[in-house]
Each structure stands twice: as C-alpha cells, then as structure tokens.
C-alpha cells in the first residue's frame, strides 16, 4: 500500500468508526455536530453540556426576553439536520486526561474520545463580593436562567435598576429598562460606555445617546459595595465617590470569564484568554506545539489572525461560533492538505436605544478614527479605524449596509483614511485619536514557565496560580 | 418552529417584517428583533420571510416536524 492510500484509508475508517466528543452544548457545539454529520462522519458523537437545556440562542436573551416579548425557554436554536448524538446535558466536564484520551465528568463518568472539540465558551463574571452577589435582586446576564430571572424582576417592577458596567450587555440592559420605562443608573469605571470595544470617541456618542434616553449614566466611577435589607434583598449601592444610589435590582455586567478551569493539568495552552489553537482550530499544547486530536471553537478559542499581525484573537461573536465550529468540524474529519482555515473578519452588532451598532474588524487594534459617512448628530454614520496608515476596522450606527464596503477594504489591507465611499460624506474627514484605554498592566504572574536547561529537555510546565 | 437570525448578516432590509410582522420587528431603522419560536400556524409566513431575506440571514429548523428533542 502506498502512503497516500494509507492516509486515505485512515480518514475513511475514522469517519466511519471514530469517536468524537464535543464539550459545550451551545451554538458552536451544535453547529460543529451538524457539520460533522454533513461531512460524512458516521461514528459515535457525544455532546456534553453543563446546562440542562438543548442548545439555545443568546442574543435574544438581552433584548426580546428581557422586554418580556419572548419567554426565555423559546430560544432553543433551530436544528439544521439530525446529529444523532448522545447528549449528556446538565453535567459538567471536570477534567481532561489526554494520555488516556478521556473526558472526566462531574458525575464520575469518563467519556473516551478519538477526537475532542472544546467549545465550553464563557460565563458571566460575578459581582466579586460573594455575600453581596448572593443578595436577592443581584443578577448577571449570560444564560437562559439568568434572563428568565432578570425578566421577572424587571416586570415586578423595581423602583430603580442599577447596571454595573457599560459594555454591550450593560448598555443593552439599560436600553431595555428605558423601553420598560424603568429608572436606571449605569455605573462605568471607564470614561464612557463601550470604550473598551469602540474607543472613547464612539464612547462619548454612546454616552450622549444613553443620557438622551433618560439613563442616569455615571462614568469614571466604581461601585464599592452593595447593601441589602434585613430580608437579604439588595437596596442600595455605594459608589466610589461616596454617592449612595437606591436600587432594588442590580445587574453586574462585568464581562466574561472563559471556561477553561476543567482543562487544568491537561497540558494544553489554556488560560485566562482562552485555549490557544491554530487557524484551523487545532489546540496547542502547553509548549505551543499543535495537537492532532484536540480542537477548539467558539468564544473559548483563541487563534492567530493573519490580518492582525498574527495576534491571537478570541472573538465572542455569533458568527465566530458558527464558522469556527464548521472549520474545526471539517478539519476533525480530514487530514492535510485538506485542512480549512477559519479566517473570519470579526463582526458584531448590538441593538440598543432604538439603534443598531455594528462593527467589522478589530477596532481596538486601531489608534485613529475617522468619520466617513453620515452624521454623528443624527446618530446615523460610519467611521473607520486605522493603524499606521491601514484601515483595521469600521463601526456604523444605523448605517449597516455600508459595512461590507469597509470589510472588503480591511481584508485587502486598504489605506487609512479609506477612500471616500462617494456618498453622504461629513464635512470633516480628518482622522483623530480613537482613544482606546491603554492596555492594562500585567495583572497576574504567568501560568506557564519553562523548565530544563538542555535544548532537548526544554519544555513548558503549568504552574497553578494561587487564587 | 424554531428560527434564529444571523444579525451580523442582517442589514435591516425589513422584508421579513413585511411578510411576517407578528414574528419580526424593527426597533428604529435597523435593529431587528424576532420571535425565535413562532407558532407552527405561521410557518408559511415565516418561511416566506426567510426566503425573501436579501442576505439570507434567517436560519430555520430543517428537521421535519422538529420537536428537536435532546435525544435526536
């Protein structure tokens, strides 16, 4: 038998009889399962999810569900095809034994695999003080249960809602509160809402928009503590400037934490920023060497992106989950040279205050911004982000149809400022600083250190962080 | 029936709103919200809405009569 024939036979056998385990039963896990079957994989497929629900869609949770228009349990994702899988729902994966090729579950069971897909996503960062976080009326918003509980609390109705953190989720919650005619205070540590994602120039516009809609927005401030009544229900928040705000619903929207703890000790390149993988979704081990049997997709995946100087990007976007899962699934049942890269131009949207904010590319990669179309005053515009003379991202407020134009320019490394799109140009098209916050100082010691002195022994070792 | 909308792709053409106004709504000019779990009675309207979307952003259950049980 020639070598290529052997390889072809291996692929055929694996597709017929292999065992694939997917950890994570959300959008990425489901679409990966469907794509595997689509690719002709007929072996055994197991999908493990820590929530008791079938895969559901998250974007409606912070909008339709909170408004009370759609019940939280109506968000189950549509199925594109039969996946014929063993579903293990409501059980958490607690460990990975790569030597034995087994996933360990919380109920003690070990699930063997030939190939594994890690799609464990992220979870909401909880309010850091556990006693205060446990008060009735304190919520986060990530899961279906979170949305159902928060919706109920908003419908009560509360006398005032306090939102901590003005990222996308916090801003969307504030927007829903105003639509429900609820008084809402938003406290944001940064200089304006959405600053981390879109910079200070756009942040100022978002701040104005929130205030115009009656949000009591307080920037440059933190919440130092939450105070409950004798019944254990939250009643007020103490801000870092000494102000006290009465509120009986508090939503902590403090960003997300990647679900990587279960991989501790498995020897993969996993940590705070996610699980490192190549552009084909193949996980890196702790030494930075690509694995053959472990793949990553969705929010928890972190891979180098050609357009952004091969920096490792983790993208918490809907289409990243879908397309990353499809690429990983394809690569799981094929071998070189038939691997497919996942080279998405990142993009997200957020509906808030009756307005659609969309973006392509990676705005924080840029340091300058220029308004290219429409009118900021009317909140109907497009703006491009640049870095060293190249366009790297664009954002639109109710101007989404033009995003494709900017997307093409970004993909082709077009110049910054970009060529005028020839329509509806603002009078001033001078680039200005985009005002992203300085990258933070290192917040923790590294998890991984080098061992060995001899080049042949040199390797990396995981050093568990003291929490 | 179950649907999801790829709101990355959605550009607010609003064809779905015209064809199935019970299940698709625009907030403002561009921001679409939708009923992810429309009544089966409205399947025809929803399918028409999905077919009419210029960017094909509406994802519909493709399992026949899908209850989509977790054991499928």
Domain boundaries, chain B: 2-61
The yes-or-no verdict on residue A375 having pLDDT over 50 is yes
Give yes or no for residue B71 having a pLDDT over 50: no
Long-range CB contacts (< 8 A, 24+ apart) of A153-156? A153/A249, A154/A66, A154/A68, A154/A180, A154/A182, A154/A249, A155/A68, A155/A180
Average pLDDT, chain A: 93
pLDDT of residue A190: 93
pLDDT (mean) for A354-369: 94
- The DSSP bridge partners found for residue A313 are A303
Contact A79 B62 (CB under 8 A): yes
Instruction: Tell me which chain B residues have a C-beta less than 8 angstroms from the C-beta of A355.
Output: 28-31
The CATH number given to B2-61 is 3.30.70.20
Question: What pLDDT score was predicted for residue A440?
Answer: 59
Q: Which two tokens stand for residue A241?
A: 């400037």
CB A283 within 8 A of CB A294: yes
Region B46-67: mean pLDDT is 86
Indicate the pLDDT class of residue A16, thresholds 50, 70 and 90.
Answer: very high
State pTM to two decimals. 0.93
Pick from B31, B32, B68: CB nearest A79? B68
The beta-carbon neighbor of B2 closest among A76, A85, A351 is A76
Q: Is A82 on the interface with B (CB under 8 A)?
A: yes
Cα A32 from Cα A326, distance rounded (Å)? 5
> Which numeric CATH code is attached to A125-256?
3.50.50.60
Lowest mean pLDDT among A197-201, A318-322, A398-402, A439-443: A439-443
Q: What is the pLDDT of residue A63?
A: 92
Task: Report CB contact under 8 Å: B35, A347.
Answer: no
Q: Determine whether the interchain pair B4/A400 forms a contact, defined as Cβ–Cβ distance below 8 Å.
A: no
Average pLDDT over every residue of A246-255: 96
Contact A70 B8 (CB under 8 A): no
pLDDT of residue B66: 45
Give the residue from chain B lying closest to A400, CA to CA.
Answer: B11
Q: A356–B29: do the CB atoms touch at under 8 Å?
A: yes
Contact across the interface for B30 and A70, Cβ inside 8 Å: no
B68: nearest CA partner in chain A:
A79
Chain centre to alpha carbon of residue A95: 22
Which range, of A142-146, A224-228, A234-238, A458-462, averages the lowest pLDDT? Answer: A458-462
Is the peptide bond preceding residue A417 cis, with omega within 30 degrees of 0? yes
pLDDT at A451: 73
Residues 6+ apart with CB under 8 A from A436: A195, A196, A199, A200, A363, A364, A366, A367
CATH fold group of domain A7-59+77-121+259-338: FAD/NAD(P)-binding domain (3.50.50)
Residue B42, φ and ψ in degrees, nearest 5: -100, 15
If residue A208 lies in a helix (H) or strand (E), which one and from where to where?
helix A195-212
Task: Tally A–B CB contacts below 8 A.
Answer: 102
- For residue A131, what pLDDT is reported? 97
Three-state secondary structure string covering A209-260? HHHHCCCEEEECCCEEEEEECCCCEEEEEEECCCCEEECCEEEECCCEEECC
Task: Point out the residue among B3, B28, B35 whose CB comes nearest to the CB of A78.
Answer: B3
- Report d(CA A403, CA A408) in Å as an integer: 9
Does A51 reach chain B within 8 Å, measured CB to CB? no
Look up the CATH superfamily of A354-433: FAD/NAD-linked reductase, C-terminal dimerisation domain (3.30.390.30)
pLDDT digits (tens, 9 = 90+) for A264-318: 999 999 998 899 999 999 999 999 999 999 999 999 999 999 989 898 999 999 9
- Chain B partners within 8 Å of A348 (Cβ): 8
Q: Which pLDDT value is given to residue A453?
A: 73
The answer to whether the beta carbons of residues A111 and A46 sit under 8 Å apart is yes
Whether A7-59+77-121+259-338 shares its CATH topology with A354-433 is answered no
What percent of chain B stands above pLDDT 70? 88
- What confidence score (pLDDT) does residue B18 get? 95
What are the structure tokens assigned to A203, written together? 């942040």
Burial class (CB within 10 angstroms; exposed 0-12, middle 13-18, buried 19+) of A362: buried
Instruction: Please list every residue in chain A whose beta carbon sits closer than 8 Å to the beta carbon of residue B42.
Output: none
What is the rounded average pLDDT of the residues B7-28? 92
- Say yes or no: A52 contacts chain B, CB-CB below 8 A: no
Nearest chain A Cα distance for residue B13, angstroms = 9
The verdict on a CB contact (< 8 Å) between A318 and B6 is: yes
Omega cis (within 30) before A337: yes
Residue spans per domain, chain A: 7-59+77-121+259-338, 125-256, 354-433
Instruction: Give me the percent of chain A exceeding a pLDDT of 70.
Output: 97
pLDDT at A359 > cutoff 80: yes
Predicted local distance difference test score (pLDDT) of residue A184: 98
B35 neighbors B43 (Cβ within 8 angstroms): no
pLDDT at A189 over 90: yes
Q: Is A38 on the interface with B (CB under 8 A)?
A: no
Of the candidates A74, A84, A318, the beta carbon closest to that of B7 is on A318
The residue behind tokens 């994570």 is: A24
Per-residue model confidence as pLDDT tens digits over A429-444:
899 999 988 765 554 4
Distances from the Cα of B42 to the Cα of A438, B2, B20, B38, B68, angstroms? 51, 11, 8, 7, 18
pLDDT band for A6, please (50, 70, 90 cuts).
confident
pLDDT at A39: 96
Instruction: Assess whether pLDDT exceeds 50 at residue B70.
Output: no
What is d(CA A243, CA A232) in angstroms, rounded to the nearest whole number?
22
Task: Give A74→chain B minimum CA distance, Å.
Answer: 5
- Asked if A290 is an interface residue toward chain B (Cβ–Cβ < 8 A), one would say no
Q: Considering only CA atoms, which of A185, A29, A45, A396 is closest in space to residue B31?
A: A396
Task: Give the pLDDT of residue B69.
Answer: 45
Q: How far is CA A141 from CA A4, A92, A168, A177, A272, in A?
A: 51, 20, 11, 14, 20
**Which two structure tokens, joined as six digits, stand for A359?**
């973006």
Length of chain B: 72
In percent, how much of chain A has pLDDT > 90? Answer: 86
Instruction: Assess whether pLDDT exceeds 60 at residue B67.
Output: no
A353 — pLDDT class (breaks 50, 70, 90): very high
Q: Which of residues 391-410 of A touch B (CB under 8 A)?
A: 398, 400-401, 403
């Amino acid at each position: 038998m020639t070598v290529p024939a052997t390889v072809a036979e291996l692929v055929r056998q694996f597709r017929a009889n292999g065992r694939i385990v997917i950890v994570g039963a959300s959008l990425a896990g489901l679409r990966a399962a469907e794509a595997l079957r689509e690719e002709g994989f007929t072996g055994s497929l197991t999908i493990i999810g820590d929530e008791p629900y079938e895969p559901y869609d998250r974007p409606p949770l912070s909008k339709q569900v909170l408004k009370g228009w759609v019940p939280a349990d109506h968000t189950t994702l549509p199925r594109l095809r039969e996946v014929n899988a063993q579903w293990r729902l409501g059980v958490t994966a607690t460990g990975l034994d790569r030597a034995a090729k087994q996933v360990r579950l919380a109920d003690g069971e070990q699930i063997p695999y030939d190939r594994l897909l890690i799609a464990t996503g992220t979870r909401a960062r909880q309010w850091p003080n556990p006693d205060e976080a446990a008060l009735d009326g304190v919520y986060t918003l990530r899961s279906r249960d979170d949305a159902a509980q928060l919706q109920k609390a908003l419908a009560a109705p509360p006398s005032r809602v306090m939102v901590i953190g003005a990222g996308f989720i916090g801003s969307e919650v504030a927007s829903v509160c105003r639509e429900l005619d609820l008084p809402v205070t938003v406290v944001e540590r940064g200089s304006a809402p959405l600053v981390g994602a879109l910079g200070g120039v756009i942040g100022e516009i978002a701040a104005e928009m929130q205030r115009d809609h009656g949000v009591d927005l307080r920037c440059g401030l933190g919440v130092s503590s939450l105070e409950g009544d004798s019944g254990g229900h939250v009643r007020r928040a103490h801000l870092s400037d000494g102000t006290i705000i009465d509120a009986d619903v508090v939503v902590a929207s403090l960003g997300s934490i990647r679900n990587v703890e279960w991989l501790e000790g498995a020897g993969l390149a996993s940590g705070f920023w996610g699980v490192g993988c190549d552009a084909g979704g193949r996980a890196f081990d702790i030494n930075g060497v690509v694995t053959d049997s472990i793949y990553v997709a969705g929010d928890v995946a972190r891979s180098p992106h050609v357009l952004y100087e091969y920096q490792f990007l983790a993208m918490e976007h809907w289409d990243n989950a879908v397309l990353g899962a499809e690429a990983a699934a394809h690569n799981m049942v094929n071998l070189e040279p038939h691997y497919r890269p996942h080279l998405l131009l990142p993009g997200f949207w957020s509906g808030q205050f009756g307005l659609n904010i969309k973006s392509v590319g990676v705005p924080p990669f840029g340091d300058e911004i220029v308004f290219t179309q429409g009118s900021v005053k009317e909140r109907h515009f497009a703006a491009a982000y640049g870095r060293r003379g190249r366009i790297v991202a664009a954002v639109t407020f109710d101007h989404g149809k033009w995003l494709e134009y900017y997307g093409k320019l970004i993909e082709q490394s077009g110049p910054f400022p970009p060529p005028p799109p020839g329509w509806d140009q603002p009078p001033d098209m001078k680039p200005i600083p985009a005002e992203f916050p300085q990258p933070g100082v290192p917040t923790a010691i590294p998890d991984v250190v080098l061992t060995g002195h001899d080049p042949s022994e040199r390797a990396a070792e995981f050093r568990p962080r003291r929490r | 029936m179950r649907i999801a909308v790829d709101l990355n792709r959605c550009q607010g053409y609003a064809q779905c709103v015209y064809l199935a106004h019970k299940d698709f709504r625009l907030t403002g000019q561009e921001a679409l919200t939708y009923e992810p779990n429309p009544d089966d009675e409205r399947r025809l309207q929803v399918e028409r809405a999905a077919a009419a979307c210029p960017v094909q952003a509406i994802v519909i259950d493709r399992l026949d009569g899908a209850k989509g049980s977790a054991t499928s």
